[in-house]
Structure 1
């Protein structure tokens, strides 16, 4: 099973991490308020690389994850952030990031969706940290993102069992 089912998003994630490194994390409000239930309370355009578990998002037309718009999960959306992995302190290691990213298709996927990845029709990809952002706020987080290859969805994918 190939972890990265959207290669263009892997490129976009790398571009995002470079943009963060060059901008110093952008805004004075590092994370728009959001509802823990993903109901869209405090809906805001994502201005920083910080995402939150439960965010439902419209895929950015630019292809860059930081340009994705957070929307209520009850509305049509393209993807849902379902898990995050905080990498430990220490030196950046691409191998460690890749190993941690595998959790996106492992137990975290199964616990959230209700079936193992191999039996699921849903797609998943990680937004990994990069060496350039490692020592910045949110710079060590791997975000796990679900999507339905068939198109937009309404509601959360939690417990979808498909």
Structure 2
């Protein structure tokens, strides 16, 4: 029986190939996987989402995310310049009456849409989009009749205050 010893030249080439691979990983960092684009409809955030009732008009905030500290899904105030996800740009007041989610949603889309068009003209010209944050049956029962209008950048984050003054 003949014992074959590894070729030292082959072993050296493998070692250099491994070193080169590690070096390339350091030079060319792995690309982050693309983040899923959130569909921001009238059910994306509600008045019951923790933190949303602390947001005032013109303030920016995060998309909802689970917080181990709160043990709940929350939105957090963020300065617009700190790459926020959303900015509140107005409110639509709904008249008192029985809770009717489809009717409240229609009022929210209509009212926020008119305010959006007054401020930014169109989605195409501004590169922005909007969605309403609705009361829920529970907050409606407690007297909540306000719909928050929110603007966001569908292609990324907000990096400054986006709400223009309306004359």
TM-score range, shorter chain: 0.5 to 0.7
Q: In the alignment, what sits opposite 1:157?
A: 162
* Greater Rg by CA: 2
Please, what TM-score do these two structures have when normalized by structure 2? 0.60
Q: For each residue in 1:92-111, what CA deviation from the matched residue of structure 2 results, as whole angstroms up to 9, or x when unmatched?
A: 12232022112355220022
Higher helix share: 2
Cα deviation, residue 140, structure 1:
1.9
Cα distance in 2, alignment partners of residues 50 and 87 from structure 1 = 20
Equivalence map 1:17-56=2 (5 Å): 17=48, 46=51, 49-56=53-60
Cα distance in 1, alignment partners of residues 133 and 43 from structure 2 = 7
Cα deviation, residue 60, structure 1:
3.0
Matched length:
124
Cα deviation, residue 57, structure 1:
0.7
Please, what TM-score do these two structures have when normalized by structure 1? 0.61
> Residue 61 of structure 2 aligns to a residue in which SS?
strand
Please list every run of at least 4 consecutive aligned residues from structure 1 whose deviation after the TM superposition is greater than 4 angstroms: none
Selected match of 1:145 from 147, 150, 156: 150
Q: Which runs of 5+ in 1 are unaligned?
A: 21-45
> Residue 49 of structure 1 aligns to a residue in which SS?
helix
Give me the CA root mean square deviation. Answer: 3.2
Cα deviation, residue 116, structure 1:
2.2
Q: In the alignment, what sits opposite 2:82?
A: 75
